[in-house]
Amino acid sequence: MAHADAGPLGPRPDGQGSGEHKPQMARELGWYASFSVAFGFVSIATGIFTTYGSVLATSGPRGIWAWPISVIGQLSIALVFGALAARIPISGYSYQWVSRIVGPVWGWIMGWISFAFLGVVLIAVDYTIASTILPELFRYVGTTENAWVITAGVVLLQSVLVAASTRTTHRVNNVAVTVQLIGMIALTVLLFAVGAFTGKLDFAHLFDTGTVPASGYYGLGGGTHAGPFALAFLLGAFTIVGFESAANLAEETKNPARVIPKAMVQAVLSLGVLGFLFLIAVTAAAGRIDGVGDSATPVATVITAVLGSVVGKILLVLVVVSIFSCGLVITLSGTRLVYAMSRDERFPGWQLLRRIDRRTSTPLNASVFMMLIAQIILAVFSRSTDALFQLFSAGTLLPAIIYAGTVLMYAIKRRSLPPSKGFALGRWEIPVLVVAGVWLVYELLIFRDSSFRAPWTYVLVLFAIGAVYFAGLLVRRGRSGLTMPDMADVDRALDATEPLAADAAGGTVR
């Protein structure tokens, strides 16, 4: 960027001249922290618990077979993102990648869509705690009013943690992810073992359509509606997103070009396998349990019926921990995106939002801003009686748009990308791109269904707000004023920070 105080990664966070000390975020995250960020954002406990009831209603038990296909599709995207993260390991992920390789205008659009996604998906996951889990756990009547208050409190707590200390945030998330891994594996094994011993597993139920007509089940649907099996893909599409959040912490990760791609791919694979085994166990047990289809928390109903009320309560506590971890990672990722765009002077209020607090070494102002935006989105959706469906639908649509745009960019510009220092697709590049392209086109076509009008409205309103701001940005600076730092500058900046990673690791990084 053509500014006197711009460093190799963009304008200085403190806005001061080159002769003064510049606060920096510490490069201290290792593989497990990076894996935990990707795993915590995806959070199968959160995604399955939130959307399983919708799948039963629209696709029946047979809908779980869309899960492995979704895993393959999302894994192909994770591989493409891994190739990009290895070449441009800078905070801001898709915003940075598209800006530097395609151009600043398209990069800004991608960044704004990512910001809109992170804002709405934070509320989508946190609202689940207040609207479905806590009423079931403590046996009280949930209302839109108390769900609003509780969700607002959860969002505030997550923001305080992120703003206060990155290290503490990661410690909390690491513990939560470890608990989720152990808990989900234990629950899955217990469901299979106890269900088989007590005769409560009905594997024929896995292929039942339930209340959904079998005729036309696999059809593509019409111009304004998707077929039953197509709607089942939303379970995987909503759950297995956010793995790229590990790339958004690239400037805080040791040896990011190697660590981040590995963490993203491993998170998707482990979540995909564990999630599918859990779905099989829950669905097989649901075939011999009454009232599952009418339950507000069908997964908890199945667990309680098979393993007892105590284990059912433990499951709900596990889901609360998982959702809190998921929201914590989303807040962390959203804060880093706002900071990255503000550092490049491209976000509303960038003068304040690009600052790194000297005491906490975190983008404190960006954390507060992300919290306020989340509270506004919560206020918009919380009065709706169908808020949870609208939130998770918008939280599925927006990443599909982000993924499609980024994969398309990679496909067009892959031959002009800088060399990788840690991960490359090699001869698998074309097959991976084909799988990712087919999957994303199919996924986006699902959203022609008339039930997604509210999420589309949210997306269009956010686009309109972004368009007004960006038009003003172009008028004030002109297109030439939005030039991104050259790739050579990026490499020099990364080289300058690598010794910090080597010192922290006690040896040479590369």
Q: How far is CA 356 from CA 14, 119, 172, 175, 436, in A?
A: 7, 21, 22, 26, 37
Q: How confident is the model at residue 6 (pLDDT cuts 50, 70, 90)?
A: very low
Q: What is the DSSP pairing of strand 10-11 with strand 6-7?
A: antiparallel
Cα angle at 330 between 327 and 331, to 5 degrees?
Answer: 85
Please state the φ and ψ torsions of residue 6, each to the nearest 5 degrees. -85, 130
User: CA-CA-CA-CA torsion for 404, 347, 82, 417, nearest 10 degrees?
Assistant: 90
Mean pLDDT of the chain: 83
* DSSP per-residue codes, 263-288: HHHHHHHHHHHHHHHHHHHHHHHHTT
**Helix (H, G, I), strand (E, B), or coil: what is residue 29?**
strand
74-98: string of b/e by CB count within 10 Å (b at 16+)? bbbbbbbbbbbbbbbbbbbbbbbbb
Q: Is the predicted pLDDT of residue 67 greater than 90, yes or no?
A: yes
Q: Is the predicted pLDDT of residue 476 greater than 60, yes or no?
A: yes
Higher-scoring residue by pLDDT: 76, 508: 76
Residue with tokens 């990707």: 38
Q: How far apart are CA 273 and CA 457, in angstroms?
A: 34
Query: Which tens digit of pLDDT belongs to each residue from 34-50?
Result: 888 888 888 787 788 88
Query: Which tens digit of pLDDT belongs to each residue from 99-110?
Result: 888 888 888 889
Q: Which residues fall within 8 angstroms of residue 482, CB to CB, at 6 or more apart? A: 1, 104, 105, 108, 346, 473, 474
Higher-scoring residue by pLDDT: 299, 390: 299
- Position 390 scores a pLDDT of 77
**Helix (H, G, I), strand (E, B), or coil: what is residue 11?**
strand
Amino acid identity for residue 479 in this structure? R
* Nearest Cα residue to 299 out of 321, 279, 277, 274: 279
For residue 10, what are the β-bridge partners? Answer: 7
Q: How far apart are CA 404 and CA 81, in angstroms?
A: 11
Query: Which tens digit of pLDDT belongs to each residue from 127-138?
Result: 888 887 888 888
Q: Are 222 and 450 in contact (CB under 8 A)?
A: no
Q: Which residues fall within 8 angstroms of residue 246, CB to CB, at 6 or more apart? A: 34, 35, 37, 38, 85, 253, 260, 263, 264, 267
Q: In the numeric block, which tokens belong to residue 313? A: 């309560």
Amino acid identity for residue 358 in this structure? R
For the chain, the residue count is 510
Which of 7-16, 336-345, 384-393 is least confident? Answer: 7-16
Q: How far apart are CA 289 and CA 97, in angstroms?
A: 49
Amino acid identity for residue 51 in this structure? T
- Position 283 scores a pLDDT of 95
For residue 6, what are the β-bridge partners? Answer: 11
Q: How far apart are CA 374 and CA 371, in angstroms?
A: 5
Q: Are 129 and 154 in contact (CB under 8 A)?
A: yes
pTM of the model: 0.83
Q: Which CATH superfamily, name and number, covers 27-479?
A: Amino acid/polyamine transporter I (1.20.1740.10)
Query: Which tens digit of pLDDT belongs to each residue from 207-228?
Result: 999 889 988 899 878 878 888 9
Q: What is the mean pLDDT of residues 481-501?
A: 52
Q: How far apart are CA 127 and CA 144, in angstroms?
A: 10
Q: How far apart are CA 467 and CA 451, in angstroms?
A: 26
Q: Are 449 and 221 in contact (CB under 8 A)?
A: yes
What is the helix (H) or strand (E) element at residue 460, kind and residue range?
A: helix 453-477
Q: Are 224 and 456 in contact (CB under 8 A)?
A: no
